[in-house]
């Protein structure tokens, strides 16, 4: 009888041990599932946005994340991130508080500002330094030399809307030509090669400032504001992925660092250039996870 009692006790201990182990494993699985290691980044076709995004991808993948990139117009990015079931997590190139203020007015209540990818963003009308005018107010007097055109980028960009405002405020006899960031740069490069006059919608940070001798036309009426390149996310991202959220909160590049990164990307391609820059600056970038 005593022997049977001991067997019964051993059986119960084994059952309890198995149950505890099972609970522990279940807890581990739940913890693994809740620690999201996937990040979806939405980005525009702008040089600095491409650079920020691919650097973030290289760093996150170095920390065992799966990263999905989606290229979209800025209005679609704001709209997607504001959804409760958003397919995206983060956007690193939100020009706030001014250039994208209309997008923020529409969607900001459903978004979260995590940090600043770059803290000294400027926009305006840009000409090669050999162009002898210095102010937007002087454009009309030389409109023929500019073919009566301002070479712009996509119509969804805040700088596109501000240029429409500048044309009105300064009563300019020049028309904004809507194109894209790469097309604008191609037009600028071609004009500089031939030493022709050209005016484009430009911004800092952008690698063109490192490659060419350029200047902003002064803006006495203050149409073009200063901004930061803010990092914004969908609501709940920082709870779903706290380590990645910390990385984005700390992510910040100085102008010289960003131009180095852009130069690496231009010298090879987006993936390879960003990976090379990450490996060369691993200590800095990895510190953003801490």
* Reported confidence tier of residue 18, pLDDT bands at 50, 70, 90: very low
For residue 12, being part of any structural domain is answered with: no
Alpha helices (runs of H) in the chain, residue ranges in sequence order: 2-34, 47-62, 74-81, 101-107, 158-169, 181-193, 208-211, 237-240, 242-250, 255-267, 270-280, 282-287
Stronger pLDDT, 88 or 27, i.e. the higher one: 88
For residue 91, being part of any structural domain is answered with: yes
Same domain, 102 and 236: yes
Same domain, 114 and 96: yes
Residue 8 scores a pLDDT above 90: no
Residue 207 scores a pLDDT above 70: yes
User: What number is the average pLDDT over the span 134-143?
Assistant: 98
User: What number is the average pLDDT over the span 252-279?
Assistant: 94
pLDDT of residue 40: 98
Stronger pLDDT, 115 or 157, i.e. the higher one: 115
Same domain, 210 and 147: yes
* Reported confidence tier of residue 27, pLDDT bands at 50, 70, 90: very low
Same domain, 55 and 187: no
Contact 262, 210 (CB under 8 A): yes
Distance of CA 281 to the CA centre of its chain: 19
Model confidence, pTM: 0.75
pLDDT of residue 16: 39
In sequence order, the β-bridge partners of residue 216 are 126
Same domain, 171 and 145: yes
Distance CA 43, CA 52 (A): 9
Stronger pLDDT, 13 or 180, i.e. the higher one: 180
Same domain, 129 and 109: no
Residue 135 scores a pLDDT above 90: yes
Tens digit of pLDDT for each residue in 215-262? 999 999 999 988 999 999 999 999 999 999 999 999 999 988 999 999
- Name the least confident of 3-17, 83-97, 100-114, 134-148: 3-17
* Reported confidence tier of residue 29, pLDDT bands at 50, 70, 90: very low
pLDDT of residue 9: 44
Same domain, 130 and 203: yes
Report the domain count for the chain: 2
With residues binned 3-state (H G I as helix, E B as strand, rest as coil), the percentages for the chain, rounded to 5, are 50, 20, 30
Tens digit of pLDDT for each residue in 50-100? 999 999 999 999 999 999 999 999 999 999 999 999 999 999 999 999 889
Task: Reduce the DSSP state of residue 170 to 3 states and report it.
Answer: coil
**Domain of 107?**
38-121+227-288
Q: How many CA atoms lie within 13 A of 70 on its CB side?
A: 18
For residue 153, being part of any structural domain is answered with: yes
Same domain, 126 and 180: yes
Picking from 187, 216, 245, the residue at the C-terminal end of a domain is: 216
Residue 15 scores a pLDDT above 80: no
Strand 226-234 relative to strand 111-128, pairing:
antiparallel
Distance CA 101, CA 275 (A): 33
What Å distances lie between residue 270 and 232, 261, 273, CA to CA? 22, 10, 5
Structure-token pair, residue 83: 């959804």
Same domain, 239 and 212: no
Strand 149-151 relative to strand 175-177, pairing:
parallel
Residues whose CB is less than 8 angstroms from the CB of residue 39 and which lie 6 or more positions away in sequence, other chains included: 60, 65, 66, 67, 68, 89, 90, 241, 244
pLDDT of residue 35: 55
First to last CA, the chain: 61
pLDDT of residue 154: 85
Distance CA 139, CA 133 (A): 8
For residue 209, being part of any structural domain is answered with: yes
Same domain, 108 and 243: yes
> What CATH number corresponds to the domain at position 141?
3.40.190.100
Length of the chain: 290
Picking from 192, 216, 240, the residue at the C-terminal end of a domain is: 216
Picking from 193, 216, 239, the residue at the C-terminal end of a domain is: 216
> What CATH number corresponds to the domain at position 88?
3.40.190.10
Give 217's DSSP letter: P
Same domain, 67 and 208: no
Same domain, 114 and 132: no
């Amino acid at each position: 009888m005593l022997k049977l009692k001991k067997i019964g006790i051993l059986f119960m201990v084994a059952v309890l041990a198995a149950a505890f182990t099972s609970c522990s494993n279940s807890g581990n699985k739940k913890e693994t599932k809740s620690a999201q290691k996937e990040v979806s980044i939405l980005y525009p076709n702008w040089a600095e946005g491409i650079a920020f995004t691919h650097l973030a991808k290289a760093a996150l993948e170095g920390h065992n994340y799966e990263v999905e990139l989606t290229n979209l117009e800025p209005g679609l990015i704001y709209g997607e991130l504001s959804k409760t079931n958003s397919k995206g997590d983060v956007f690193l190139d939100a020009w706030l508080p001014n250039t994208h203020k209309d997008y923020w007015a529409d969607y900001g209540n459903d978004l979260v500002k995590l940090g600043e990818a770059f803290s000294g963003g400027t926009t305006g009308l840009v000409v090669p330094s050999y162009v002898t005018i210095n102010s937007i107010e002087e454009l009309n007097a030389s409109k023929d030399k500019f073919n009566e055109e301002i070479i712009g980028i996509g119509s969804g960009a805040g700088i596109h809307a501000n240029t429409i405002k500048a044309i009105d405020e300064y009563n300019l006899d020049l028309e904004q030509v809507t194109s894209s960031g790469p097309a604008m740069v191609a037009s600028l490069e071609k004009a500089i090669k031939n030493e022709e006059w050209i005016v484009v919608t430009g911004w800092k940070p952008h690698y063109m400032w490192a490659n060419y001798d350029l200047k902003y036309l002064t803006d006495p009426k203050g149409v073009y504001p200063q901004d930061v390149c803010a990092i914004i996310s969908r609501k709940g991202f920082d709870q779903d992925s706290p380590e990645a959220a910390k990385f984005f909160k700390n992510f910040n590049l100085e102008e010289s660092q960003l131009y180095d990164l852009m130069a690496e990307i231009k010298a090879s391609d987006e993936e390879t250039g960003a990976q090379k820059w990450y490996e060369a600056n691993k200590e800095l970038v990895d510190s953003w996870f801490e």
